Amino acid sequence: MSSPVATIVYFLCFAASAACGALLVRSYLRARTALLLWTAACFVLLAVNNFLVIVDLVVLPESVDLQVVRLTVTLIAVATLVYGFIWEID
């Protein structure tokens, strides 16, 4: 079980990334720009990652470890953003 301060920080990180993802999705739906799509996808996946941090470190017992899943989601999020940046160069 985490300390209360760590739990608050985990939740605030989740809230910030989810809010950024929501704002980017809303902006993409208005402008239909490809770069906004890739950035929105990245931040939505980062919000999923932060949610998994909360589940892993606060909710589940220490015997359950979701670190590999969390790192995989982070890798997919960053790879999505890098792919979007490379795609926009053309």
Q: Domain extents for the chain?
A: 4-89
Number of H helices, E strands in the chain: 3, 0
Closest by CA to 49, choosing from 67, 20, 74, 22, is: 74
Joined tokens for residue 77: 């999020």
Q: pTM for this structure?
A: 0.91
pLDDT score at 77: 98
Joined tokens for residue 29: 């739906």
Give the position of tokens 């919000």.
Answer: 47
Confidence of residue 11 (pLDDT cuts 50, 70, 90): very high
Say if residue 90's pLDDT is above 70: no
Round to whole Å and give the CA distance between 38 and 42: 6
pLDDT score at 88: 82
Dump pLDDT digits (tens) for 12-63.
Answer: 999 999 999 999 999 999 999 999 999 999 999 999 999 999 999 999 998 9
